[in-house]
Structure 1
Amino acid sequence: MTHSPQVQEILAQSPLFQGLGAPELEALAAVASLRSLPKGETLFLEGDPVHALFIVARGVIKVYKMDPQGRRQIVLHLEGPYHAVAAVAVFLEKPHYPACAEALEDSLLLAIPTEAFQRLLETHPALSRALIRFLARRQGQLVHLLDRLVFHEVAARLAEYLLGRLEAEGQGFSLPTNPELAALLGTVPEAVSRKLGELFRRGLIRLAERRVWIDDPAALREVAEA
């Protein structure tokens, strides 16, 4: 098993383990291991048994489902550094992954075996409380997303997404493809392309090889709140 300061740093920065003390972080690090996942490689497929909880250390993981015909991907979300992948699946009555996941770019993940994680929940109450807080925040995010999909225009949803990526990853973050962005924002690729172009022409964002810089976050925030 990998047990190093790097592992504890990854755990400490994860929203899932926000606020945990040294004893809990050390216990998690003792059972965790690092795993490389090259761009385009599959982390798991829908229906696979849940064998680990994954935290992204570096890179981006796409979580998606296939349409009933198996021809089109429906992107559910993208998980960047320090975020958990399919955390809820660990606690399903039938622990199988409800979607597929693959690396959008060369990635490094921290894997915590499911059985070991569940044992730690039983012996470390602070870890259980952290998990409850995480799930409550996640539910709030889903309600907020539903509100945005129903009541806000594509430009506002796109601006909010870009600001969220900026906050999580800093300037020069990598942008997913327009079809992937469209699935995340509840629209079509043509609308995403059009709105990205508008933000670029207005000087609110800079684009270079699918990487984004935001020079005036306050101006973009006005678009997000429109």
Structure 2
Amino acid sequence: MNWVARAPGLQGLEPGIAARLEGLPVMRLPKGKVLFCPGEAARGFTILLSGRVEVFLIGPTGREILLYGIEPGQSCVQSTLGLLGGEDYTGEAITVSECEAVLVPRETFTTLMDRSPIFRRFVFGAFAQRLQSVMALLERVAFQRVESRLAAELLASAENGAVHATHHEIATRIGTAREVVSRRLDALAKAGAVRLDRGVVTLIDEAALAGLAAVDGGAG
């Protein structure tokens, strides 16, 4: 099966365009591979066929925040900005699972944007969805209390009632410092909402966490 047929959003491409894309190789990427770093120029447009990539912003002190995740059918806003506007990357992208991806070189990307309405619609559609998710992240960090963001993250990432992550990893995902997460988790544990073990947060009172996640307030 050709890879273009597997790529969400690329169905119905013009025959010549589809053939040109089909000639590009599929890359198999291991978990933990760094795809780009701050200051690098965009080499091309990545189409993810399987797996997940996460893009982080890293501050001057080394603190990280998860900007967004990329799954098949979604795009990297930083790559699109780099290709269309010439901006260097400001974040770092890392595979968090084994991935299959295709890199559309810069020159090919520019040609397809000019010649293919379907490819252009795919790029801008995915770009718009990604911008919406980034705006939602900014709203949460700016206007939702840390306790609410933490509770929502615990509920969203729990598997079989437990979250297997360090305090640093949780902090990165909700846009705050590890020390803040540790203090908030300790408070939740004392309240009986969670149990803390090394690298594991077990959810004890999901109803209480859901109530907390629904409460908005000033930035924490």
TM-score with structure 2 length normalisation?
0.67
- C-alpha distance in structure 1 between counterparts of 2:103 and 2:4, whole Å: 10
The answer on 1:103 being equivalent to 2:92 is no
Secondary structure, counterpart of 1:128 in structure 2: helix
Higher Rg: 2
Change in 2 beyond 3 A, CA 1:164/1:34: farther
User: Residue in 2 aligned with 1:50?
Assistant: 42
Say whether 1:188 aligns with 2:177.
Answer: yes
Q: What is the rounded CA distance, in whole Å, between the counterparts of 2:105 and 2:55 in structure 1?
A: 19
What CA distance in whole angstroms lies between the structure 2 residues aligned with 1:106 and 1:36?
7
Q: Give the C-alpha shift of residue 92 in structure 1.
A: 4.2
Q: Please, which of 117, 123, 148 is the counterpart of residue 125 of structure 1?
A: 117
Moved more, 26-35 or 182-191: 26-35
Q: Which one of 85, 91, 103 corresponds to residue 93 of structure 1?
A: 85
Deviation track 1:107-144 (CA, whole Å, cap 9, x = no partner) reads 43332223222222222213323333333333333332
Asked if structure 1 preserves the Cα contact closer than 8 Å seen for 2:44 and 2:83, the reply is no
Aligned residue type for 1:183: T
Note if 1:22 corresponds to 2:22: no
Instruction: Classify 1:57/1:217 alpha carbon distance in 2 versus 1 (closer, same or farther; 3 Å).
Output: farther
2:218 matched residue in structure 1: none
Distance in 2 between the 1:193 and 1:22 partners? Answer: 50
Q: Does 1:114 align with 2:103?
A: no
Pair 1:190–1:151, CA change in 2 (3 A) = same
Question: How many residues of Structure 1 are paired with residues of Structure 2 in the alignment?
Answer: 209
- Partner in structure 1 of residue 29 of structure 2: 37
Residue matched to 1:157: 149
CA distance in 2, matches of 1:120, 1:77: 28
TM-score (normalizing by structure 1): 0.66
> Residue 33 of structure 1: SS of its match in structure 2?
coil
Q: Name the amino acid aligned to 2:136.
A: H
Report the CA distance shift for 1:218/1:8 in structure 2 as closer, same or farther (over 3 A): farther
In structure 1, distance between residues paired with 2:58 and 2:75: 21
